[in-house]
Amino acid sequence: MTTLASAPPLGSPRLAPALGVFTELWRRQPVLAAMACIFLLAMLPTSFAMHLDARTVNGISVWVKPTKFLLSLAVYYATIAWFFACLPRAAQATRAGRFVVWSGVIVGVVIGVIAYAAVKVVLRFVRPVYVRCE
């Protein structure tokens, strides 16, 4: 007999290492860690849409690519946030250090605006099909 595994409770010791990684990431570089969290949260609607929308291209859901893209951006921002703390404090406070952080934020915002516009266009042309029953 097989049983489905449920998610561990929030205070569970199994969940503690993951929360520890996020708190450490936040301590190292909070701006880039926030961008990583934003992209992880942006994966929720695309993951949800993947299960609701039956459209496919070559047998693959149309929502797989946006979900993978958001995951890769989250990993990218988390990696930059993690290794940013490896720089000396003096290098973090320089113009180049600030450029790394804020250029990442600007790129993230631009990607968000482009994604919003793309979803708006797609939803504009996807109309429900009504069948007349006589």
**pLDDT tens per residue across span 108-130:** 888 878 877 777 776 666 555 55
pLDDT of residue 125: 62
pLDDT at position 69 over 70: yes
Higher-confidence residue: 121 or 105?
Answer: 105
- Rounded Cα distance, 101 and 31, in Å: 7
- Rounded Cα distance, 26 and 93, in Å: 17
- 105 closest CA partner among 44, 30, 42: 30
pLDDT of residue 127: 57
| pTM, to two decimals | 0.68
User: How does residue 75 score in pLDDT terms, banded at 50, 70 and 90?
Assistant: very high
pLDDT at position 11 over 60: no
Q: What integer is the mean pLDDT of 96-113?
A: 82
